[in-house]
């Protein structure tokens, strides 16, 4: 059994070590993307005219191949994890910004009016009313962004040993060992499924107030946003 997970020494990691590295390289950018997307989305909700150009910019950024980012970033951040994670964080915006904007906009007018009439200031209203109600849509966006990030990390192998599980693909080809390629592909897929499942768990914990039927709707919403 242990032979199955034995890796060539040039990878400098155990299989488990690669899995953890993969998770870190995939999820830190999404987290960072979320931190940028939250205020950006709020700005887009407040200033309606800003939303189309922001959407346009995030889409264009998403269309830039990661290789092009690497070429530019290597001068500044070298052959490091950071060089892989920066483009991933930028890519996550294309899903997260619309997910948050749509989520916050989906809060019913009556609810907002009621909150205002009860003496909620704008900040309190955003934190205590709009964000919690937008949570399902935001988490749906996080699911799409995280899964896509997990699969994208593999490109990191192009700049030396920064592709985590992706590096196994390279090793598998060099040493002609299909086992390594399977370990990479299956490992990445399982990881993506697990991350997705974990986020579903988070959503269920955070939103006991959602009717069952409505849960599907937020998913289709996020998928529409992802497109």
Partner 1 sequence: MIRIDSVTKRYPDGTVAVDRLSLDIPDRSITVLVGPSGCGKTTTLRMINRMVEPSEGTITLDGVDIMKQPVNTLRRSMGYVIQNAGLFQHRTIVDNIATVPRMLGWGKDKARARARELMERVGLDAALAKRYPYQLSGGQQQRVGVARALAADPPVLLMDEPFSAVDPIVRKGLQDELLWIQAELGKTIVFVTHDIDEAVKLGTMVAVMRTGGHLAQFAPPAELLTDPADAFVEDFLGADRGIRRLSFFPSVGLELLTAPIIAVDATAEQIAARDTTDAPYLLVTDLDGKPLGWAEPGELTAGEIRQDQLLSYGRPFIAGTDSLRAALDCAVLSPTGWAVAVDGEGRAAGVVSQQTIGEAIRGAHAERRADGEAGTKADGKTEKAAR
Contact set with partner 1 (CB under 8 A)? 108, 110-121, 129, 132-133, 135, 207-211, 214
Shortest gap between Cβ of 96 and partner 1 (angstroms)?
Answer: 20
Q: Which is nearer to partner 1, 4 or 118 (CB)?
A: 118
Shortest gap between Cβ of 132 and partner 1 (angstroms)?
Answer: 4
Nearest-angstrom CA–CA distance, 141 and 188? 20
Shortest gap between Cβ of 106 and partner 1 (angstroms)?
Answer: 11
Q: Which is nearer to partner 1, 63 or 118 (CB)?
A: 118
Q: Which is nearer to partner 1, 16 or 209 (CB)?
A: 209
Q: Which is nearer to partner 1, 3 or 110 (CB)?
A: 110
The total of other beta-carbon atoms located within 10 Å of residue 191's CB is 21
Shortest gap between Cβ of 188 and partner 1 (angstroms)?
Answer: 35
Tokens of 46: 């407040």
């Amino acid at each position: 059994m242990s032979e199955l997970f034995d890796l060539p020494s040039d990878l400098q990691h155990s299989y488990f070590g690669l899995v953890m590295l993969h998770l870190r390289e995939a999820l830190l950018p999404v987290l960072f993307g979320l931190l940028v997307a939250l205020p950006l989305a709020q700005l887009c909700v407040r200033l309606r005219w800003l939303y189309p150009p922001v959407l346009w910019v995030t889409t264009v950024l998403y269309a830039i191949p990661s290789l092009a980012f690497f070429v530019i970033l290597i001068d500044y951040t070298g052959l490091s994890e950071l060089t892989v994670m920066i483009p991933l964080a930028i890519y996550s915006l294309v899903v997260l910004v619309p997910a948050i904007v749509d989520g916050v906009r989906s809060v019913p007018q009556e609810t907002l009016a009621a909150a205002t009439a009860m003496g909620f200031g704008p900040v309190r209203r955003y934190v205590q009313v709009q964000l919690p109600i937008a949570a399902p849509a935001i988490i749906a966006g996080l699911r799409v962004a995280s899964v896509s990030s997990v699969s994208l990390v593999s490109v990191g192998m192009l700049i030396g040993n920064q592709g985590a599980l992706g590096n196994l693909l390279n090793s598998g080809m060099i040493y002609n060992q299909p086992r390594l390629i399977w370990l990479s592909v299956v490992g990445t897929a399982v990881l993506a499924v697990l991350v997705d499942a974990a986020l579903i768990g988070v959503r269920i914990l955070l939103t006991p107030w959602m009717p069952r039927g409505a849960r599907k709707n937020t998913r289709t919403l996020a998928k529409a946003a992802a497109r």
